[in-house]
Amino acid sequence: MSAQPHPEHKQLAARYEIALALVVLAAALALRLTGLNVFVTPDEHHWYDRSRAFHNALQSGDLAETFQSVHPGVVTMWVGAASIRSLGLDDPGPYDDFFKVRQQAAERTGKPQTLGLPPVLVRSRAILAIVTWLCLGASYLLMRKLFDRFTALIALALLALDPFFLAHSRLHHLDALLASFMTVSILGLVLYLQNGKWRYLILSGVAGGLAISNKSPGAFLAPRTALVLGLDLLLLPAAARRQALGRSVVALMA
C-alpha cells in the first residue's frame, strides 16, 4: 500500500504551483505589452479604420453603420472604440492621415519627423493583449478543475508562451480573440458536463457568443458542442442517459 502524501507537503506543492503560475502569467503579460509601438503589420490599418467608423456610428446612433465587415469583428472593433474613448478623442481621423500630417510637417520644416504609430492603434493593441491575457487566466482556472494542477500549469505555459499565439495577442486583429474565447468556451462546456454547474455552461455560452461575433470560424463551436455532447451521452451508462439528455439539450440551446 503506497504512503499518502503528508498534508504539509501537499500545501507546499500547491504554493509552488500557484507561484509558478503567477510567474508564467506575469511573463505572458509582460511579453504581450512590451514594444507595442515598434512594428507595423499589413492588416491592422483596416481594423483601425473599421473601429473608427464603428465608434462614429455608435456616437451618432446609426446602428446600421456599425456593420463594417463580414468577419464580423465585433469584439475587435469594440476594442478599437474603447481605445478611442480612453484617449479622450471624438474622431482620431483615418489611419493614413496620421502619417500624411507628419510627412507634410517634414516637408514644411525640412526636418525628418519620427513617424511612430497612431496612439489609438497602440492602445488597441494593449487592450487586446490584456483581454487575451485574462482569457489565459480563466483557462488556467478552468483547467485546474478539469485536470491535476501539474497538467494545468504545463498547459498554461504552453498556451501563454506559444510564439504564434503570443504574436497575434499583440495585434489589433481577430485571431487571438477568437482562439481565446473558443478555448474558454470549450473548457467551460467540458467542466459543465463534469459537474453540472450552470455557471460553467453560462460561461461557455458567453465565450462562444463572443467568438462567433468576432470571426465566423467561431461557428465551428456549434458542431463541436454537438459532438462533445453526443460522445458524453454514448459513454454514459444506459440508466444515466435519460437524465443527461435533458442536460445536453439545454447545453445545445445555450
pLDDT, one tens digit per residue, over 97-138 is 887 776 666 667 766 555 678 999 999 999 999 999 999 999
Please give the Cα distance from 103 to 115 (Å, whole number): 8
Kindly indicate the confidence band of residue 249, based on its pLDDT and cuts at 50, 70 and 90: low
How far, CA to CA in Å, does 95 sit from each of 6, 79, 117?
61, 16, 9
Q: What is the mean pLDDT of residues 42-69?
A: 94
Where does the pLDDT of residue 74 fall: very low under 50, low under 70, confident under 90, or very high at 90 and above? very high
Q: Is 110 left (phi over 0), alpha (psi -120 to 50) or beta?
A: left
pLDDT value, residue 174: 97
Q: Give the three cell numbers for residue 246.
A: 435533458
Nearest CA among 155, 136, 135 for reference residue 147: 155
The band of 240, judged by pLDDT with boundaries at 50, 70 and 90, is low
Q: What is the pLDDT of residue 15?
A: 84
Query: Of 251 and 91, which is predicted with more confidence?
Result: 91
Q: Give percent of the chain with pLDDT exceeding 70.
A: 82
Q: Within 10 Å of residue 198's Cβ, how many Cβ atoms?
A: 10
At residue 6 the predicted structure's pLDDT band, cuts being 50, 70 and 90, is low
pTM, full prediction: 0.86
Contact 209, 161 (CB under 8 A): no
| Distance in angstroms (rounded) separating the CA atoms of residues 79 and 125 | 9
What does the alpha-carbon distance between residue 193 and residue 247 come to, in Å, rounded to a whole number? 8
**Per DSSP, what are the bridge partners of residue 72?**
215
For the chain, what is the mean pLDDT? Answer: 87
Q: Which amino acid, 140? A: Y
CA distance 179 to 221: 11
pLDDT tens-digit readout, 131-183: 999 999 999 999 999 998 899 999 999 999 999 999 999 999 999 999 999 99
Position 185 scores a pLDDT of 96
Say what the pLDDT of residue 87 is: 94
Q: Rounded to whole angstroms, how far apart are CA atoms 225 and 222?
A: 5
- Cell, residue 178: 477568437
Q: Are 214 and 71 in contact (CB under 8 A)?
A: yes
Helix (H, G, I), strand (E, B) or coil at 71: coil
Q: Cell 454514448 identifies what position?
A: 234
Q: How far apart are CA 42 and CA 95, in angstroms?
A: 12
Query: Which pLDDT tens digit goes with each residue over 30-41?
Result: 999 999 998 889
Q: How sure is the predictor about 231, in pLDDT bands with cuts at 50, 70 and 90?
A: confident
| First vs last C-alpha separation in the chain | 46
Q: Pull the grid cell for residue 62.
A: 446609426
pLDDT at 1: 45
Encode pLDDT of 8-29 as tens digits. Answer: 667 777 788 899 999 999 999 9
